[in-house]
Amino acid sequence: MNRTACAITGACCIRISLWTSIGRAVKRMRHSSLLLAALSAGLCQASLGQDYILEAPGSAPPAASVSGGATLFQNVRIFDGKSATLSAPSNVLVRGSTIERISASPITVDANSDVRVIAGNGRVLMPGLIDAHWHSFMAATAMPLLTTANPSYLHILATRQAEATLMRGFTTVRDLGGPVFGLKRAIDEGAIKGPRIYPSGAMISQTSGHGDFRFPFELPRATGGPLSQSETLGAAAIADSPDEVRVRAREQLRLGASQIKLMGGGGVSSQYNPIESTQFTEAEIHAAVEAAENWGTYVAVHAYTPRAIRQAVAAGVKCIEHGQLIDEPTAKLLAEKGIWWSLQPLTYDAEVFARMTPVSQRKAMEVFAGTENAYKLAKKYNVKTAFGTDILFNAGASARQGAYLAQMVRWYTPAEALKMATADNGELMALSGFINPYPGKLGVVEVGALADLLLVDGSPLENIRLVEDPDKNFLIIMKNGVIYKNTLRP
């Protein structure tokens, strides 16, 4: 009975002798069942995260993390994630998961060593790309499927999309909502291929907020009533008081969120909230901020309007998502307070527009119109700006993830745009503090940084459109020192 109880909690590595002694102790006590339950839970907790011990005989436990051996890139010109110019011809030695050495003079390796040598022939080596606003679970899956399909089917689609994301050169994504904890784990363990994921877990939303995907017939819900499909999946969490927000935020942290995502105002894809609406109260948002900050991390809030942005900032939020409808004083406020602005180049895209409902199309036109002004203000006040795509429910647009980055030259030089998608975004990832799932420097090519690297056939600083066609132009894709694509091989 003891073993069954333990297995139910998810892990069973307690030695029988230990159980025997606990059993004797318990027998001596009254209220034994209560105590036993408490002990079972407490003891099993110690082994959570090691549930591969329960795997069927014959299947090898996955490695704790995947990193490569050693790789030497010879004769490459480096875009380091920060500089506006390429380096002189250089050599870069990667060992394990990090960059060990960068040198303009030759790096010699023993001919008998297992160092993989790559002749760069003057090509460009740059950091892997980072998408600061991505939805691994729902970028490429149509919205009606998300509310109706079998969850396992949806997770399989997300698995395929994760590999496609990595193959587009995006070695890291900050996931701003969706059930991706399992996906992240499987990627990190090397069971499947995909980018590093900074997960938020469920998007926390008020009733009728941007994350309330319920059908009208599911309302009203009594307190404690049944969860909807999107809540059960872990895509969204609906909360309507500071206490409920606190619980939902802590639940995401418990599941492994590296930051918390709240819906602070109206959105385009949701049907039941005006784009002008302000969502949650300052007290509700602040409850999530307290929960996140106690865990060393931060809250990111979806907000388009000055009112929604200002409320989030007042509540202690560290990153504003979108903000296309901002005004000048609010942009200035973000700069003064050092708040991150995670902005997306959302402009008219005929294919994306055609797939929207009339309600979403009206809202999208407002947001598209604001994009120009938003980037202008972000530049004018030098706000810390992150690059992200926020592609949703659209396989075609997901395949054009790199084209979103190339579009940034409407407002920035190629070097500025690429810096945003590498070194700057890397800095934003580190805002997750002591719960950062990938501690180490991301988005830069420098000694000691994590080895997420792209070998590009041409210079993206001269022609940023190279990132639009990763199949052709990214010859090598490396993440954590492991080569996932190499078309240079004979």
Contact residues for Zn ion, defined by CB under 5 A: 176, 390
CB-nearer residue toward Zn ion: 32 or 357: 357
Phi then psi dihedrals of residue 289, to 5 deg: -60, -45
Q: Closest separation between CB of residue 187 and Zn ion, Å? A: 20
Between the CA atoms of 38, 43, 47 and 53, what dihedral angle is there, to the nearest 10 degrees?
Answer: -100
Q: Closest separation between CB of residue 458 and Zn ion, Å? A: 31
Q: Closest separation between CB of residue 91 and Zn ion, Å? A: 40
Question: SS3 for 237?
Answer: strand
CB-nearer residue toward Zn ion: 284 or 390: 390
The DSSP symbol for 272 reads: S
Q: Closest separation between CB of residue 151 and Zn ion, Å? A: 20
CB-nearer residue toward Zn ion: 180 or 466: 180
CB-nearer residue toward Zn ion: 235 or 287: 235
Q: Closest separation between CB of residue 210 and Zn ion, Å? A: 9
Question: What is the CA angle 271-179-323, rounded to 5?
Answer: 50
CA 250, chain centre distance (Å): 18
CA 322, chain centre distance (Å): 16
Contact criterion met (CB below 8 Å) for 279 and 318: no
Contact residues for 223 (Cβ-Cβ < 8 A; gap 6+) = none
Q: Closest separation between CB of residue 133 and Zn ion, Å? A: 6
CB-nearer residue toward Zn ion: 79 or 137: 137
The DSSP symbol for 434 reads: G
CB-nearer residue toward Zn ion: 90 or 360: 360
Give the residue nearest to Zn ion (CB).
Answer: 390
CB-nearer residue toward Zn ion: 159 or 200: 200
CB-nearer residue toward Zn ion: 176 or 429: 176
Q: Closest separation between CB of residue 110 and Zn ion, Å? A: 49
Contact residues for 351 (Cβ-Cβ < 8 A; gap 6+) = 394, 396, 397
CB-nearer residue toward Zn ion: 146 or 450: 146
CB-nearer residue toward Zn ion: 176 or 442: 176
Contact residues for 210 (Cβ-Cβ < 8 A; gap 6+) = 203, 263, 265, 266, 267, 269, 270, 273, 279, 302
Q: Closest separation between CB of residue 134 and Zn ion, Å? A: 8
CB-nearer residue toward Zn ion: 390 or 468: 390
Angle in degrees, 0-180, between the axes of helices 181-188 and 151-167, rounded to the nearest 10: 50
Contact criterion met (CB below 8 Å) for 246 and 260: no
Residue entry with tokens 């230990």 = 18
Q: Closest separation between CB of residue 180 and Zn ion, Å? A: 13
CA 221/CA 219 separation, integer angstroms? 5
Q: Closest separation between CB of residue 135 and Zn ion, Å? A: 6
Contact criterion met (CB below 8 Å) for 468 and 407: no
Question: What's the sign of the alpha-carbon dihedral 385, 391, 397, 398?
Answer: positive
Question: SS3 for 260?
Answer: strand
CA 479/CA 371 separation, integer angstroms? 32
Q: Closest separation between CB of residue 6 and Zn ion, Å? A: 39
The burial class, CB within 10 Å (0-12 / 13-18 / 19+), for 284 is buried
